Structure 1
Amino acid sequence: MTDNTHIAIIGAGIAGLTAALRAREAGFTPVLFEKSRGPGGRLASKRTQDGASVDMGAQFFTIRNSRFKALLADYAGEEALQLWDATLWHENTQGAVGSFHQALRYVGTPRMTAVTRALSANFAINTGIRITAVTPEPDGWTLTTDEGPQGPFARVIITTPPEQARNLVAESVVASLGLEAFRMLPCWTLALRFEQALTPGFDGMQLAHECLGWVARNTSKPQRGAGEWWVLHANSTWSESHRDTASSEVAAAMTTAFRQRFDIQQPASDYLVHRWLYARPAGGPTPGFLSTAEGGIGLCGDWLAGGRVEGAFESADALAAQWFGQP
């Protein structure tokens, strides 16, 4: 194994950025690779033509972990996030509706991606680069990318979903890490714009519905701009059964479900739709992180720690603690 201090980190969401910050604190040089145009991961947003910003991924996050709070304060700053003072409801399987569990819920401002963009300001991220293989060489690990080989690196941290991680490493590494035990479920997301404000009496609701799993008035979040936008997440079962359905058909079906469930008479004037292929953990173990015996490859992400945004931090923080010690 090479004795250089360069560590490759694949993915620039909360897990990847946390791992990079912890590696740098420990004296290593993190080199981040992100296939998209910028950082974000689950904290995904889209700007609309009417000047609004719509959160298409995670709808909020908690800050229960004191180390997560400290990391955000140190590296993101208070301007990148704000409390979402929302009226949230929960529907049980019998159809009864009550208050969502009590917690302080935060959102990025003016959009969810503000958090990861603030954290990423500490690094020069290699964006728009797709990694296709992670291979051991005599002097370290080499990454095969669509722009040529990168490396060598002393270690590699992978923050992609397990389905994608399995395609990057050798079968022996998959077996040693137990990667076959992990699977993610898809989620269709639809954002709808209305010309006048809807008044259902809540800002967000977790549903026990044949199609919808979550609906929220995106406009109720701070600094979201103009327009009445609502974000709908389909539940995992419905999303799985419609994994390969055309996006226009999905949008029509989800719009109808929303209108019928809440008796919405007003037609939508615009929409955005997105399919998350790997959105939620399909149950199974939650070890926090995975690491090869020699510590050459580590995996972290929300799917290893319960599927929450804060879980992504906790996964990367725990891997870093094992590799580098507590900062």
Structure 2
Amino acid sequence: MTLNIAIIGAGIAGITAARTLAQAGHHVHVFEKSRGAGGRMSTRLSNFGTFDHGTQYFTVRDPRFSLALQTVPGTSDICRPWSANAVRVLDPLGHVFEAARATKDAHFVAKPGMNALVRHWAEPLGKAITYNTQVNRLERGAKGLWTLHTVNSTSGKEVAQKHAGFDHVLLAVPSVQAENLLKASGKEAANAQWLKAMDAVNVAPCWTMMVAFPNATQPNLHIGPQWNAARSIHHRIAWLARESSKPGRGKVERWTVQASAAWSAEHITDTEARVKAKLLRAFAELTGIRAEPAHAELHRWLYAKTITPLGVSHQYNPANGLGTCGDWHLGHRVEDAFVSGLELALAVCQSAKRL
């Protein structure tokens, strides 16, 4: 049986699910609230170059993820190894007190930015993706078909819309957003068992800072430390990466700085000016770079890194056609999101064969 399926979210989980279902012959339509595909595999443009202000890199442990990276046309040209596995561990004063533990996992990035991988995989879906569209409520009709109540902001103003006729609706969004959407959609959607399980999921926020020093252009002029990435036990900063060290990123000295989960949660409602001042001070302490950056920008991720996952790859109810997927089901890695989206799509395909 061929199904008409709505997928909410165009991160790697949603796009993986959509591609898998489309290849199986089902009709899919993806709704994404942002301007493009990627989710937390995001890239921010600036006058000085790009910043990967979300996911910093990915590993390849699952054989199905490895197969996809090798066989999807054009993907091997996008993905490149990065020496993030040579990171240092810093004390609060910026001293290297521990080399990163040896790991057999290679670290990869997409070029020219982390969002390139998801956007490349989304290309074959074409007009089956609607961007700038926030889904606020689901409604199931008498015939068992779902209607999505949405708000579209493409024109610069919010326009309420309805998209009807879906056999299934799959939620590929952060756990809190999925939980809120299910609750807002009435008893047909608010599965008590799901909601109880999702309530135990813990996803931490993250303040991310992006700074550029255009007077330092690699490889001729290099400022600050000799390492390209570091984890830190500084109470404010958990991770630093030199963007210009990544393949295909340009030569201007740029850094992405990610605050710790605890500090981000404590300061989640602070003004950007206050957060920027505190992170710049900590950045100088850790790197020794005390020059004023020509560019300093912030991004606040409310749902950045899974601390406590759901513990299963997906949720799916064939009786009403609802499902959830995303990295938060399994962990915080890119391939966790891929596996979640893939396994939900395969479960839907198996159910459709029995209809």
The Cα shift of 1:138 comes to 2.2
Distance 1:69 1:85 in 2: 19
1:53-132 paired onto structure 2 within 5 Å: 53-75=50-72, 76-86=74-84, 87-91=86-90, 96-102=97-103, 103-123=105-125, 124=127, 125-132=129-136
Contact 1:23-1:30 at 8 Å conserved across structures: yes
> CA 1:4 to 1:138, structure 2 compared with 1: closer, same or farther past 3 Å?
farther
Kindly report the root-mean-square deviation, in angstroms, between the aligned alpha carbons of the 2 structures: 2.1
CA contact under 8 A between 1:89 and 1:100: conserved in structure 2? no
- 1:138 alignment counterpart: 142
Q: Could you tell me which residue of structure 2 aligns to residue 164 of structure 1?
A: 177
- Taking structure 2 as the reference length, what is the TM-score of the superposition? 0.85
Q: Distance in 2 between matches of 1:53 and 1:313?
A: 24
C-alpha displacement at 1:174, in angstroms?
4.3
CA distance in 2, matches of 1:95, 1:136: 57
Unaligned runs of 5+ in 1: none
Residue 180 of structure 1 aligns to which amino acid in structure 2? D
The answer (yes or no) to whether the contact 2:138–2:148 under 8 Å persists in 1 is yes
1:34 matched to 2:32? The reply is yes
Structure 2: runs of 5 or more not aligned = 152-159, 217-221
- Aligned equivalent of 1:187, options 174, 190, 206: 206
Q: Could you tell me how far apart the structure 2 residues matched to 1:199 and 1:95 are?
A: 13
Task: State the shift of 1:47 in Å.
Answer: 1.3
- Which 4+ stretches in 1 moved above 4 angstroms? 91-95
Q: Using the alignment, how far apart are the partners of 2:294 and 2:101 within structure 1? A: 29
Using the TM superposition, give the Cα deviation of residue 4 of structure 1 relative to its aligned residue in structure 2, in angstroms. 5.7
Matching residue's letter, 1:193: A
Pair 1:283–1:206, CA change in 2 (3 A): same
Q: 1:164 to 1:323 in 2, by over 3 A?
A: same
Q: Post-superposition shift, 1:262?
A: 2.7
Percent identical residues: 31
Q: How far is 1:285 from its partner? A: 3.4
Calculate the TM-score normalised by the size of structure 1: 0.92
Query: How far has the Cα of 1:164 moved from its partner?
Result: 0.9
- Counting only pairs closer than 5 Å after superposition, residues 279-298 of structure 1 correspond to structure 2 as 279-292=304-317, 294=319, 296-298=321-323
Task: Judge conservation of contact 1:185–1:240 (CA < 8 Å) in 2.
Answer: yes
Alpha-carbon distance in 1 for matches of 2:231, 2:207: 15
Note the alpha carbon deviations across 1:204-226, whole angstroms, 9 max, x for none.
11112201010010110011124
Which whole-Å deviations, capped at 9, do the CAs of 1:291-325 have from their partners, x for residues lacking one?
A: 23626111100111111111100111121222224
